[in-house]
Chains A and B, each alone.
Chain A
């Protein structure tokens, strides 16, 4: 036992987890003291979810140790973790909306007499418990009659009442408004004052500065920093999370070609609770980047532009004519293409062959009554496999057997086959190895040179800075700036992204 042991309520040392082909957690440390609110930060895929899974017994770790209150624990499921004093409350609070508030609080441990639930005793206890959190609600009503904020507090109350010493809050404020967030903060501060260790997972940096005492940052499965919030500048925090030094301006692309005509103009495009209205012009032979932290609304801009989410304000002009985007079909008919962020969920049809995946969008546009002749399919597949250098033994290979980078190229081929005029790429280099990164970036540049209008969303600031002509900067579901031409550098983008957090700390 070290001297600091009594202070540390949670001590995770060298936690590791390997999935086939991916090192999801690589020797991660996380130490949280009693009475502390500790932020756990990191971009998508940094390993936050895996770490929470390990702590709560959902995922089996393959290295390291986890100590709660100085005692090593090996939870195999959430119930065992809970018994060891470690509970998690998720963004979509895992409660039962069809049961009453009291039933939710006491499910599985209802007070009974002769096997019958003593409803009045249970309701009284529930009222008393929630009063401790400043919540005075009718506990006999079903949970679905209350807001997300109330559900969060009920979930927290249940977790703490089940003898939690360490409480993990996974993005609890993601769908709360300012007032509800303030209420939740009060509750969380109260818990810390009672000596609990609270782990606060969020992607709102201003909330980190407003609420948390210390923080741990993960990147690519590694712990890259443990800091005291008071000693940390917002810009340094962003740099920690994105992991890019504030240099590398030499990567800026030098291009001679000037952009052509406007392909699409979006004016005041937005949707309530999704993304605030923004303006954007996309021109032929130009790459517009979108930068921002996870949850900043960068993906949402693409969904609106592609009609996958319906805008409730603004208008879209294509070739100078106002058009209506009622859905992706309209967008595809206009010559738009979207390469989504989550390849597995939204793009790749794993069991189908490379060829089938490539011709999918073209076939969808033609309609199922006009099947593409096999000869044409083979032609297309052969052309794009050669053009994009997709490494596959033949076009009949199921696409799930290819590497991430080659899957991504096949998806790119799918949209190129439709001969689009505007191509939206959401995180095209995520989950592909370093070599493929460069290839995909080169491809993006080549496409641009051929006169395509490109909109590329990426959290790789260096890459964006390298190829983009203009960069739309997103923060808190709002477009906060457009960085153009020579002004584009990873440092400038980072500063623009960090903007709000800087104001709060200032």
Chain B
């Protein structure tokens, strides 16, 4: 028997499989490994953000700052490499550490001041975005041998095409995120505080630590997404990632997570990202549709999933519970 809790995830899987089948029916080449590889590569940034966002949403929160943190990271790396002459790897490490620290601060404010995550992360978003413009208002191209070398790395797929470093980072991130969320005590705490913060505290869960870690993780992922973006575009630009936090939230929710917290899966978030990528690919293949159709389809899908979740939430309370 299928638990009703898993229905949203199954629905998402179905949407992806059917959607992909329809695309392939119209454009058979979409089945090629190259297109698959591109699907992963082109959506790597969103994917990395969605991993962090999944933790935040499941914990019952929201993080609006990830797009801005990602943009700040691209600028920080570009400035550090070109103006300060730091080695890119050093710049990456610094960016990731600063990102995590920034998120930890956000989480601490949310927990200790009992402030709504929405407003705190909105503040963080403005600050990070403003800071990136302080560093530069222009795009800063990065020209470093390491970039060329890293981007040339790829895992060959059978039948041509390959997984570039960017796609590999995303897949590894999802794998690590999935293990952390579903198989560790920290993951259980995230579900616990998303389910009922007060009850979790009464049961002795370290609510403060889990909240701080959750937002630190989300910001860390945002910084990692910035690093990936930097590799992908070989530049830093302060307007990078405007609005992408909303795409990440959409991906997580389409993947079956409840915005009220306590429910969701990492695999679902990956599917949510891939569905968005699939729609974009279809529009590219078609060539005549405006790319803004992506947003319309995502909007419609989100609406459908919210309706599905509402139905699943109300149905069990209508029928009598099993003993």
A residues whose Cβ falls under 8 Å from a Cβ of B: 78-79, 82, 94-99, 103-104, 107-108, 110, 112, 115-117, 119, 141-142, 144-147, 150, 158
Contact = CB atoms under 8 A, between A and B. Distances in A.
Given A78-B202, A79-B204, A99 B188 contact: yes
Given A98-B262, A98-B263, A107 B205 contact: yes
Given A82-B204, A96-B191, 20 more contacts: A94-B196, A94-B202, A94-B203, A95-B203, A96-B195, A96-B199, A97-B195, A97-B196, A99-B188, A103-B191, A107-B205, A110-B188, A112-B184, A115-B185, A116-B183, A117-B183, A119-B183, A145-B3, A147-B323, A158-B203
B179 A116 contact: yes
A97 B195 CA distance: 7
Contacts of A144: 316
A427 B268 CA distance: 53
A142 B321 CA distance: 12
Q: How large is the interface on B (under 10, 10 to 19, 20 to 34, 35 or more residues)?
A: 20 to 34
B72 to A, nearest CB: 31
Nearest to B58: A98
B183 A103 contact: no
Interface in B174-223: 179, 183-185, 188-189, 191-192, 194-196, 198-200, 202-206
B5 interface: yes
B191 A99 contact: yes
Contacts of B189: 107-108
Interface string B2-14: 0101000000000
Contacts of B192: 96, 99, 107
A112 B186 CA distance: 12
B285 to A, nearest CB: 40
- The 6 closest A-B CB pairs, nearest first, are A98-B262, A98-B195, A96-B195, A94-B199, A94-B202, A116-B183
Nearest to B321: A147
Contacts of B5: 142
Contacts of A82: 204
B114 interface: no
B190 to A, nearest CB: 11
Contact of A96 (B185, B196, B206, B322): B196
A82 B204 CA distance: 10
B263 to A, nearest CB: 6
B184 A117 contact: yes
B203 A107 contact: yes
23 contacts: A78-B202, A96-B191, A96-B196, A96-B203, A97-B195, A98-B195, A99-B188, A99-B192, A99-B195, A103-B191, A107-B189, A107-B192, A107-B203, A107-B205, A110-B185, A116-B184, A117-B183, A119-B183, A142-B5, A144-B316, A145-B3, A145-B321, A146-B323
A112 B322 contact: no
Contacts of A95: 199, 203
A85 B321 CA distance: 33
A98 B194 contact: yes
Interface in B309-323: 316, 321-323
Given A97-B195, A97-B196, A110-B188, A146 B203 contact: no
A95 to B, nearest CB: 6
A438 B189 CA distance: 54
A110 B183 CA distance: 10
A287 to B, nearest CB: 41
B57 to A, nearest CB: 13
B206 to A, nearest CB: 8
B59 to A, nearest CB: 12
Contacts of A119: 183
B202 A108 contact: no
A117 B204 contact: no
Given A107-B192, A142-B5, A96 B183 contact: no
Contacts of B184: 112, 115-117
Nearest to A144: B316
Contacts of A141: 3
Contacts of B198: 94
Nearest to B203: A107
Nearest to A95: B199
B260 to A, nearest CB: 10
Interface string B117-143: 000000000000000000000000000
Given A115-B184, A116-B183, A142-B5, A98 B191 contact: yes
A144 B317 CA distance: 10
A150 B323 contact: yes
Contacts of B262: 96, 98
A45 to B, nearest CB: 23
A116 B178 CA distance: 12
B197 to A, nearest CB: 10
B17 to A, nearest CB: 26
Contacts of A78: 202, 204
A144 B195 CA distance: 11
Nearest to A88: B202
A82 B205 CA distance: 13
B321 A146 contact: yes
B322 A145 contact: yes
A188 B198 CA distance: 26
Interface in B1-55: 3, 5
Contacts of A142: 3, 5
A110 B184 CA distance: 9
Contacts of A117: 183-185, 188
Contacts of A97: 195-196
A142 B316 CA distance: 13
Contacts of A146: 321-323
Contacts of A103: 188, 191
Contacts of B199: 94-96
Contacts of B183: 116-117, 119
A415 B302 CA distance: 48
Nearest to B182: A117
A71 to B, nearest CB: 21
A97 B322 CA distance: 14
Given A99-B195, A146-B321, A147-B323, A107 B263 contact: no
A44 B183 CA distance: 45
A283 to B, nearest CB: 41
A119 B192 CA distance: 16
Contacts of B191: 96, 98-99, 103
Contact of B203 (A108, A115, A116, A147): A108
Contacts of B179: 116
A108 B205 CA distance: 6
A84 to B, nearest CB: 14
A117 B5 CA distance: 21
A78 B263 CA distance: 27
A116 B181 CA distance: 10
Nearest to B192: A96
Contacts of A98: 191, 194-196, 262-263
A115 B204 CA distance: 19
Interface string B230-266: 0000000000000000000000000000000011000
B193 to A, nearest CB: 9
Nearest to B261: A98
A112 B185 contact: yes
Contacts of A110: 185, 188
A82 B183 CA distance: 27
A136 to B, nearest CB: 11
